[in-house]
Amino acid sequence: DQQVKQNSPSLSVQEGRISILNCDYTNSMFDYFLWYKKYPAEGPTFLISISSIKDKNEDGRFTVFLNKSAKHLSLHIVPSQPGDSAVYFCAASAGNQGGKLIFGQGTELSVKP
Amino acid sequence: EADIYQTPRYLVIGTGKKITLECSQTMGHDKMYWYQQDPGMELHLIHYSYGVNSTEKGDLSSESTVSRIRTEHFPLTLESARPSHTSQYLCASSSQNLNTEAFFGQGTRLTVV
């Protein structure tokens, strides 16, 4: 049973516009959520995270929103740039399970000039 | 930039061969992980370690084995490679803090022919 789901395998956005990537989870014990960016044949790079005690965290062009009641989080990138084109993975962890990261399937973002 | 290194980056090997994928980190992290990723799929945790002489199997069953004799080193071994082992293998590490990101190496792309 997949505990972290990213239902959109791909997203295409025009440069300068907002990119919104979505993620749903099922395990109510998750208390920490992260977004990673990954290029082919490379390891994931950490982007931004949010603790379950918050509903929003912002870092430059990246903002993560958490809706605990809906078990949903989203990553907003604004303005989107061509260099943002990559696969974005949502991940979650539960402190009482040792903090192991559980990943979604990823969403491939393409930002067109 | 994260100081976690994986070698080799790419490996093509024949069926039945024994292989060891190397992973080293210089951040003094106690926690280390091995993930396996097939194209277009999520990262699956196959092994993790919370310190020296501590290893556990992850959520995805794997025929590989790991060892953790030194804090900085977490190699993964396949005694007899098969085509079904073809995948990308990603090593990661994190500090002891519960809500913290994991840093990933660049990965090893393994192809068994």
Q: Is A106 on the interface with B (CB under 8 A)?
A: yes
Answer yes or no: do B90 and A102 touch at CB < 8 A: no
Tokens of B81: 């490679």
State the pLDDT at residue B2. Answer: 60
Query: What 8-state DSSP symbol labels residue A47?
Result: E
pLDDT at A99 exceeding the cut of 90: no
Would you tell me which residues 28-87 of chain B have a C-beta closer than 8 angstroms to some C-beta of chain A? 31, 33, 35, 40-45, 48, 50, 58-59
User: Mutate which of B101, B103, B106, B111 to disrupt the A interface (most A C-beta within 10 Å)?
Assistant: B101
Q: Taking CB atoms and an 8 Å cut-off, how many pairs form between chains A and B?
A: 69
SS (H, E, C) chain B: CCCEEEECCEEEECCCCCEEEEEEECCCCCEEEEEEECCCCCCEEEEEEEECCEEEECCCCCCCEECCCECCECCEEECCCCHHHCEEEEEEEECCCCCCCCEECCCEEEEEC
In chain B, residues with a C-beta closer than 8 Å to the C-beta of A91 are 43
Answer yes or no: do A43 and B105 touch at CB < 8 A: yes
Minimal Cβ distance to B104: which of A44, A51, A95: A44
Q: How far apart are CA B38 and CA B46, in angstroms?
A: 13
User: Mutate which of B98, B108, B109, B111 to disrupt the A interface (most A C-beta within 10 Å)?
Assistant: B98
Alpha helix (H) ranges present in chain A?
Answer: none
Average pLDDT over residues B69-85: 96
Tokens of A35: 């977004």
Minimal Cβ distance to A42: which of B43, B102, B106: B106
Which pLDDT tens digit goes with each residue over A14-46? 999 999 999 999 999 999 999 999 998 789 999
Q: What angle do CA A22, A26, A31 make, to 5 degrees?
A: 85
B110 pLDDT band (50/70/90 cuts)? very high
- The mean pLDDT of chain A is 94
A55 pLDDT band (50/70/90 cuts)? very high
Answer yes or no: do B99 and A93 touch at CB < 8 A: yes
In chain A, residues with a C-beta closer than 8 Å to the C-beta of B49 are none
Residues 6+ apart with CB under 8 A from A78: A17, A18, A19, A61, A63
pLDDT at B104 exceeding the cut of 70: yes
pLDDT at B1 exceeding the cut of 60: no
